[in-house]
């Protein structure tokens, strides 16, 4: 079986699952879910842009540890809202989304962004931010910031192009 056939089968299962029955509760559920998805993505992206810019070396007077403490946690909340609402929206037409090339690009950028964030967690300097003067930046942080901006930007752009 080829990957597209597997993805279409899984998408069909998602469409047939009880997840989409949540939209039967009222006329307002679909617009509220779309709004939640947009607000979650905005919070995620709005927190990650300044964080990644700081890792690139912008705003050196602001300690990286202080920004990370607030922005990373806030971006996690936005990401969780975006993912949950995104799965709900996906359940309405999963097979159609699987056949949309922009959805695959969005997924690829999303995986790259997550892997970048996870890899950053294993950098010893990241774990010791609270113990050092974190007003500077290092090469690994600059690379993570650049990759993060490109990957999360790709997620946002592709997400907008899915419906066009």
Q: Read off the pLDDT of residues 33-87 as tens digits, 9 standing for 90 and up.
A: 999 999 999 999 999 999 999 999 898 888 888 899 999 999 999 999 999 999 9
Distance of alpha carbon 112 from alpha carbon 70, whole angstroms = 23
Tell me the pTM.
0.89
Domain total of the chain: 1
| 51, HSE (Cβ side, Cα atoms, 13 Å) | 24
Q: Name the H helices within the chain.
A: 3-16, 29-56, 64-90, 94-98, 101-121, 124-127, 139-161
Q: Which residue range(s) make up the domain with 49?
A: 3-161
Q: Read off the pLDDT of residues 112-158 as tens digits, 9 standing for 90 and up.
A: 999 999 999 888 888 888 777 677 778 888 999 999 999 999 999 99
């Amino acid at each position: 079986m080829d990957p597209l056939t597997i993805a279409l089968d899984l998408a069909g299962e998602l469409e047939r699952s009880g997840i989409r029955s949540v939209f039967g509760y009222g006329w307002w559920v679909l617009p509220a879910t779309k709004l939640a998805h947009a607000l979650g993505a905005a919070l995620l992206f709005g927190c990650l842009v300044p964080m990644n810019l700081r890792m690139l070396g912008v705003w050196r007077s602001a300690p990286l540890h202080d920004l990370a403490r607030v922005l990373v946690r806030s971006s996690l909340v936005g990401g969780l809202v975006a993912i949950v609402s995104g799965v709900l929206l996906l359940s309405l037409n999963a097979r159609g989304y699987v056949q949309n090339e922009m959805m695959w690009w969005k997924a690829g950028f999303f995986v790259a962004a997550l892997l970048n964030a996870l890899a950053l967690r294993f950098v010893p300097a990241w774990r010791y931010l609270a113990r050092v003067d974190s007003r500077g930046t290092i090469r690994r942080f600059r690379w993570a910031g650049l990759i993060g901006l490109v990957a999360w930007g790709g997620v946002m752009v592709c997400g907008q192009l899915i419906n066009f």
